[in-house]
């Protein structure tokens, strides 16, 4: 059996001693990421009963699970991921690669013309450990998510996306500011301090970019 790398050992130690991991396990949540979303949604009062919410990059389902529980039986949650996700009651899941047009068309078919109130994107590429490779991949997914919100998010709606600080980040935020009345950057407490991830929130989508 191969020995684990030092970085892998460090991650495992950090993961299993993480208070948010322990809390998620105790509360029956699928991932610690639910606490990031909880803080973000509550701080900006993004979630209301009856909303149509699309969760991009949903697996293992922590965000969709939290949204479904928060809205009760009202509204609709549509989730998708390139990874499979065990079923969640009240969540419509599409297993596929968001970069493929055929999969995007399937997602559009699931929405069946319903205007979307909130688009969530926690998508991230598989990491190679090389910033010059990983950052462009991450920004490409972010661009696709923004284009999806351009098309399907209703005027006045909100878009919350995970981004990694680096090349292309500033330009992306500038593009968001053309599309939304208010754009803020958040770093929730449950996001590990050494992680370059932040969350960009656009609220009040303009009918057309400015």
Residue 210 lies in a domain: no
pLDDT class of 33 with cuts at 50, 70, 90? low
* pLDDT above 90 as % of the chain: 65
**Residue for token digits 């754009």?**
183
* pLDDT at residue 22 greater than cutoff 50: no
Residue 1 lies in a domain: no
Q: Which of 39-48, 97-106, 198-207 has the lowest mean pLDDT?
A: 39-48
Total domain count, the chain: 1
Q: Give the residue numbers of the binding site.
A: 61, 63, 81, 97, 122
Mind listing the pLDDT tens digit for each residue in 64-87?
999 999 999 999 999 999 999 999
Residue 132 lies in a domain: yes
Residue 90 lies in a domain: yes
Interval 119-123 mean pLDDT: 95
* HSE-CB for 107 with a 13 A CA cutoff: 31
* pLDDT at residue 149 greater than cutoff 70: yes
Burial of 27: CB neighbours in 10 Å, binned 0-12, 13-18, 19+? exposed
Q: What are the structure tokens assigned to 165, written together? A: 């600080």
* pLDDT at residue 1 greater than cutoff 50: no
The whole domain housing 67 covers 6-205
Residue 34 lies in a domain: yes
pTM: 0.83
Q: Tell me the CATH number at 81.
A: 3.40.50.150
The SS3 call for residue 186 is strand
* pLDDT at residue 143 greater than cutoff 90: yes
Radius of gyration (Cα) for the chain, nearest Å?
Answer: 17
Residue 32 lies in a domain: yes
Active-site residues, by number, are 162
- H or E segment to which residue 157 belongs: strand 153-164
Q: What are the structure tokens assigned to 208, written together? A: 């057309």
pLDDT class of 16 with cuts at 50, 70, 90? very low
Nearest to 158 by CA among 116, 114, 207: 116
Strand partners, 180: 205
Which pLDDT score is estimated for 208? 86
- For residues 30 and 54, is the Cβ–Cβ distance under 8 A? no
Residue 85 lies in a domain: yes
Q: Please report the sign of the dihedral spanned by the C-alpha atoms of residue 29, residue 58, residue 83, residue 187.
A: negative
Q: Give the residue numbers of the binding site for S-adenosyl-L-methionine.
A: 61, 63, 81, 97, 122
Interval 185-192 mean pLDDT: 80
Average model confidence (pLDDT) for the chain?
A: 86
Residue 117 lies in a domain: yes
Nearest to 103 by CA among 118, 87, 123, 86: 123
* pLDDT at residue 162 greater than cutoff 50: yes
Which pLDDT score is estimated for 29? 47
Could you tell me whether strands 197-205 and 153-164 are parallel, antiparallel, or unpaired per DSSP bridges?
A: antiparallel
The SS3 call for residue 122 is coil
């Amino acid at each position: 059996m191969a020995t684990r790398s030092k970085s892998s050992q460090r991650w495992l130690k950090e993961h299993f001693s993480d208070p948010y991991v322990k809390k998620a396990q105790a509360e029956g949540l699928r991932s610690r990421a639910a606490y990031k979303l909880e803080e973000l949604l509550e701080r900006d009062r993004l979630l209301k009963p009856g909303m149509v919410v699309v969760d991009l990059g949903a697996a293992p389902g922590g965000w969709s699970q939290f949204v479904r529980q928060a809205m009760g039986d009202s509204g609709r949650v549509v989730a998708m991921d390139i990874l499979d996700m065990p079923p969640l009651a009240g969540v419509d899941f599409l297993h596929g690669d968001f970069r493929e047009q055929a999969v995007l068309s399937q997602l559009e078919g699931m929405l069946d013309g319903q205007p979307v109130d909130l688009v969530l994107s926690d998508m991230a590429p598989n990491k190679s450990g090389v910033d010059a490779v990983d950052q462009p991949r991450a920004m490409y997914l972010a661009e696709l998510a923004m284009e999806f919100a351009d098309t399907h998010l209703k005027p006045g709606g909100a878009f919350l996306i995970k981004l990694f600080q680096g090349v292309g980040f500033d330009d992306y935020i500038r593009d968001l500011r053309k599309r939304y009345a208010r754009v803020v950057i958040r770093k929730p407490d449950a996001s590990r301090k050494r992680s370059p991830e932040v969350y960009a929130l656009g609220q009040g989508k303009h009918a057309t970019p400015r």
